[in-house]
Structure 1
Amino acid sequence: MKHGIHPVTRPVVFRDRAAGVSFLTRSTADSTRTIEWEDGTFHPVVDVETSSASHPFYTGTARIVDSAGRVERFERRYGDRGGVRR
């Protein structure tokens, strides 16, 4: 790796405001605000709106789209108009 071209990584706390969960990980993100972590050290904190703790896909609350209902509604609305023309 070339020296001096890669961003500096440091421990950063990402705080999910919706779920009230915090994650400590290494990141290049920077923040002027800090937070005291569980071990007593201070780290920059970045507030996020959605994380794996609050995203519907990861929490299992995602809606299942009824694609069969969409097809039936389309066929009712437009019906069979003599097949496909080529």
Structure 2
Amino acid sequence: MKEGIHPNYRDVCFVDLSNGFKFVTRSCAPTKEMVKMDDGRELPLFKLETSSESHAFYTGQQKSVDTLGGRVEKFRNKFAHLSKK
């Protein structure tokens, strides 16, 4: 590999700010802070607003749009009394 043209690919600790969930993966993400892990390693820290542990889609708290009815169904319900003579 050529020197000086590749990004710094290393282990990075990502932390979810909403619930404190941490996970380590390899990344080129730019970081300024470091964190001490339970196993003694000191890794770069990248803060996230949401992760799979707090996102509504993955936790099952997301409401499905299909259960609320679509535009056609709303139209039919709104004007159903006009079609019945």
TM-score range, shorter chain: 0.7 to 0.9
Report what 1:44 is aligned to: 44
Cα offset, 1:18, TM superposition:
0.8
Cα distance, 1:67 vs. partner?
Answer: 5.8
TM-score (norm 2): 0.75
Over the matched positions of the two proteins, sequence identity in percent amounts to 41
**Segment of structure 1 superposing worse, 17-26 or 2-11:** 2-11
Residue type of the alignment partner of 1:69:
G
Q: State how many pairs are aligned.
A: 78
CA RMSD of aligned residues (A): 2.1
**Structure 2 counterpart of 1:15, one-letter code:** V
Extract unaligned runs of 5+ from structure 2: 81-85
After TM superposition, the structure 1 stretch with the greater mean CA deviation from structure 2, 17-26 or 5-14, is 5-14
Aligned residue for 2:23, secondary structure, equals: strand
Q: What SS class does the counterpart of residue 72 from structure 1 fall into?
A: helix
- Give the AA of the match of 2:74: R
The residue number in structure 2 matching 1:83 is none
Superposed displacement of residue 6, structure 1: 3.7
Unaligned runs of 5+ in 1: 80-86
Structure 1 runs (4+) greater than 3 angstroms displaced:
2-6, 76-79
Scaled by the length of structure 1, the TM-score of the pair is 0.74
CA distance in 2, matches of 1:67, 1:52: 24
Deviation digits for residues 39-71 of structure 1 (CA, Å, limit 9, x no counterpart): 111111010001111111111111111367232
Q: State the partner residue of 2:76.
A: 75
Paired amino acid for 1:52: S
